[in-house]
Structure 1
Amino acid sequence: MTQNTALSSAPLQNFEALGLLPALCKAVQRLGFNKPTLIQQKGLPALLKNKDVLLPSQTGSGKTATFLLAALQKLAEKKQKEGEFYQPYPQILILEPTRDLATQTAGVCRQLGRDIGVKTRLICGGTSREQQLRSLEGGVEIIIATHGRLLDFVQNGQLDLSHIEYLVLDEADRLLDEEFSQSMTALIPYLADHPQTIFCSATLPDTVMALAKKVTRNPVQIEIEEETKTPRRLQQRAIFLHDEEKESTVQNILTQFATEERIIVFVNTKKSANELAKKVRSWGFKAESFHSERSQGERKKVLDHFQGKQCSILVTTDIAARGLDIDNVSIVINFDLPKSSEIYIHRIGRSARAGKKGKALSLITFDQRHLLRDIEKNIQHRIRIITPDDLTR
């Protein structure tokens, strides 16, 4: 059974009105957020009342800050209440589907919790196991992890999760593969009974709801009414062409919009990401590839370069379509049309975030007309067809 929430007629316009501590209000302002998003207005009150919550996880919604702010508030209040008798121990567990998301969430958590002094630890593969173990020796309060490395530590008696009070399953619809299901089944006996559970998912089909029912109790389901499934300030265009014309078309697009802040080019395979990034560099642009076969350190370096503008073009697989927080992306190019309309929505959602304008250009071969129709039907929006010549007008 779930409880639905509805926004009041007078939305809360600041974080203070949500009951956040001054230190956390200062932290969100430091990160550039002056007023809460809709999901924060609806989600934070339920979380602060210790309710289990189903949170939508649309790109740019403020979902990550929502569950982190509630977690940090709870820790701060406990420290204040217990005073000198307070002892740090693992109380909050945030499970992420990928190392990249875990690393990013840990970074946001440390920024938000800087003035509270919480001990946050990242546990995931791709980095030194011994180094992560040593980091736990000084005490830990918030664990942000991927399931494989976490289960390794727990089953070897190197981490105690029996006092976890606050559990977040982030991007839960991506955690339904067989490996994760087995890991969750193995982890449950090590967790405290019935921690407050936050279940984040972009979609809630029957399979996801079945998992939600297993791990939550009478959750509050946060619903955000949206006029459309894609950002309103996003200009969507499609170009029909032959496959051999794609590269020259992308070159023309990049030549025209090279002064834009950031451009993401999506492809469907890791091989294509490497090859196209190399080709783009040969045209004189600063571009890097991003995909799952690159090491954790390499991917972090690429994202840092992209955020810092040392590289203005990111050629990537769908690993960057969801979850990763990348600001000021002006243009998204679908070099390869995605395999589903849901992935299309996530891809183009990398642009036109936080009320800004953006462009999405999809390159479509003539035998893919039916895929375009399926996308338009799903997003309830007609995508304007243009020619390559229109790009220069």
Structure 2
Amino acid sequence: MAEDSWALAVDVQETTTPSRLPNWSQDEENEAAGDRVNKAEQSLLNKLIRCSLVKNGNQVEVQQADPKSPLFSAKTFEELRLKPELLKGVFTMGFNRPSRIQENALPMMLAEPRQNLIAQSQSGTGKTAAFSLAMLSHVNPENNWTHVSKRSYTPFTLPLKTVSGVFMSACLCSVERGIKRQEQIVIGTPGTVLDWCTKYKLIDPKKITMFVLDEADVMIARQGHREQSIRIQRLLNKSCQMLLFSATFEDSVMTFAERVISQPNIIRLKRVEETLETIKQFYVLCRRKEDKFIALCDLYGCLTIAQAMIFCHTRKMAAWLASRLIEEGHQVSLLSGEMTVEQRAAVIERFRNGNEKVLVTTNVCSRGIDVEQVSLVVNFDLPVDMQGNADNETYLHRIGRTGRFGRRGFAVNMVDSDHSMDIIRQIEKHFDKKITKLDTSNLEEMEEMTI
């Protein structure tokens, strides 16, 4: 470790479990409650399974606070005029050139006079390294007080992990009343950092020169985090540089961002609608789960399937289906909300590597998982919201696991009641696209579906 190392203080807190689901039977509620798509867990899962930057086809749109300011993007790290030790660390860590978000965000974050920024960037696009470099560029290792404060909804993602071995020493904070923190960078959940600033007086908020809110869309889902972040922001000097990152730009996110960040530059992804054009959609009429299973076996008997993802409503149904498929000789992995995020990541990695050909899962795997070889998605149970209506967004995310990277895919929906048929009609109306009836026992019809 070099003598001129930056220090890091880290706050560790646990996330809360999702609330229970109303308006369902007790059995359904108990089985499905742990399989809701939790934003914090999904964000962590995406981080664990990504070993490289994701391929992102979105174009970046930049809105400058000062339209007269010359727009500048950096195609190389050398253009940023980073401190020599930081530039060396970047190359040592294997970064060759800035990612798309880094190209546009880093010049703004490093500019003088300092500029505020609101940026849309999904997990895996390089934003962590971007604001880490900005944070490290701000601090002066000679000054033993906090320069930079970074708020996170969860301690799972320490933003300096990509550079920690090169640039800084880290310590896990223990709270001692009356002793000022000497680390230049503090990372923590809003509640604890607010306590450090006000209750325990460990940090002087007036000396903070950069304030980073990461994954704001996940953070503000918790009422307490939103209000605590606002309270911290009010303690800071008006000259403090404010940075906010979010994977989505929903109205709630922008309302929050505009409340805590004045005169920001804004970087957003130009919306590219997910398309269903490469996915052939079908439904199969069944009476009960055994009929669904027979239809599924018929599909495997007639289609050339690289890999398949099968979605179930509850853990109990997913476990039953996985067991039956294994009995039939299929290589199957099972994924559900009762697993830890680390266990889920291991299952997905095995599936991605082709160790298993079939992944049976609940909604915990409906978003953000790209496996190029998936050619079939089966909705063993159709996605519905808590009122029993079609969950169109989840449907899109589910069947979007196939047809990736321009390849053709198949989506088959199992219909076992009049209500299920009504769900299919709702989905057709929403996407303005017909879902074709399929008889899996008709070999001729099955052959035609692949044409």
By the TM > 0.5 criterion, same fold?
yes
Partner of 2:117: 52
Equivalent pairs counted in the alignment come to 347
- Tell me if 1:238 matches 2:303: no
Write the letter of the residue equivalent to 2:116.
K
Partner of 1:266: 311
What is the deviation of 1:347?
Answer: 2.8
TM-score by length of 1: 0.65
Q: Contact (CA 8 Å) 1:263, 1:330: kept in 2 or not?
A: yes
- Tell me if 1:320 matches 2:362: no
Distance 1:272 1:157 in 2: 50
Q: Runs of 5+ in structure 2 lacking a partner?
A: 1-60, 65-71, 175-180, 385-390
The alpha-carbon distance between structure 1 residues 293 and 159, as it changes in their structure 2 partners (threshold 3 A), is farther
Q: 2:137 aligns with which of 77, 81, 87?
A: 77
Q: Contact (CA 8 Å) 1:18, 1:44: kept in 2 or not?
A: no
- Tell me if 1:357 matches 2:407: yes
Partner of 1:93: 150
Distance 1:26 1:333 in 2: 44
Distance 1:120 1:386 in 2: 59
What is the deviation of 1:204?
Answer: 1.5
What is the deviation of 1:241?
Answer: 2.0
The alpha-carbon distance between structure 1 residues 298 and 265, as it changes in their structure 2 partners (threshold 3 A), is same
Write the letter of the residue equivalent to 2:117.
D
TM-score by length of 2: 0.58
Q: Runs of 5+ in structure 1 lacking a partner?
A: 58-62, 122-131
Q: Contact (CA 8 Å) 1:44, 1:67: kept in 2 or not?
A: no
Distance 1:330 1:69 in 2: 31
Write the letter of the residue equivalent to 2:224.
Q
Distance 1:358 1:109 in 2: 39
Partner of 1:129: none
- Tell me if 1:167 matches 2:232: no
Partner of 2:227: 185
- Tell me if 1:342 matches 2:393: yes
Q: Contact (CA 8 Å) 1:13, 1:36: kept in 2 or not?
A: no
Partner of 2:244: 198
**SS of the residue aligned with 2:125?**
helix
Write the letter of the residue equivalent to 1:113.
V
Distance 2:209 2:166 in 1: 19
Write the letter of the residue equivalent to 1:341.
N
The aligned runs of 1:26-37 (5 Å cut-off) are 36-37=99-100
What is the deviation of 1:342?
Answer: 1.9
**SS of the residue aligned with 1:294?**
coil
Distance 2:79 2:295 in 1: 49
- Tell me if 1:247 matches 2:289: no
The aligned runs of 1:124-163 (5 Å cut-off) are 141=185, 143=187, 162=205, 163=208
Distance 1:305 1:268 in 2: 23
**SS of the residue aligned with 2:269?**
coil
1:260-289, Cα deviation, whole Å (9 max, x unpaired): 2x5332223333333333333333233333
What is the deviation of 1:361?
Answer: 0.9
1:116-156, Cα deviation, whole Å (9 max, x unpaired): 445689xxxxxxxxxx768xx997957486x7998999999
Distance 1:378 1:198 in 2: 33
Distance 2:202 2:407 in 1: 46
Partner of 2:125: 65
The alpha-carbon distance between structure 1 residues 356 and 185, as it changes in their structure 2 partners (threshold 3 A), is same
1:308-342, Cα deviation, whole Å (9 max, x unpaired): 4434433222222335x554352443322223222
Q: Contact (CA 8 Å) 2:119, 2:266: kept in 1 or not?
A: yes
1 or 2, which has the higher helix percentage? 1
Q: Contact (CA 8 Å) 1:95, 1:169: kept in 2 or not?
A: yes
Distance 1:237 1:338 in 2: 15
- Tell me if 1:217 matches 2:268: no
The alpha-carbon distance between structure 1 residues 230 and 164, as it changes in their structure 2 partners (threshold 3 A), is farther
- For the aligned residue pairs, the C-alpha RMSD in angstroms reads 4.8
Write the letter of the residue equivalent to 1:344.
Y
The alpha-carbon distance between structure 1 residues 271 and 164, as it changes in their structure 2 partners (threshold 3 A), is farther
Q: Contact (CA 8 Å) 1:6, 1:42: kept in 2 or not?
A: no
**SS of the residue aligned with 2:351?**
helix
**SS of the residue aligned with 1:74?**
helix
Q: Contact (CA 8 Å) 1:341, 1:375: kept in 2 or not?
A: yes
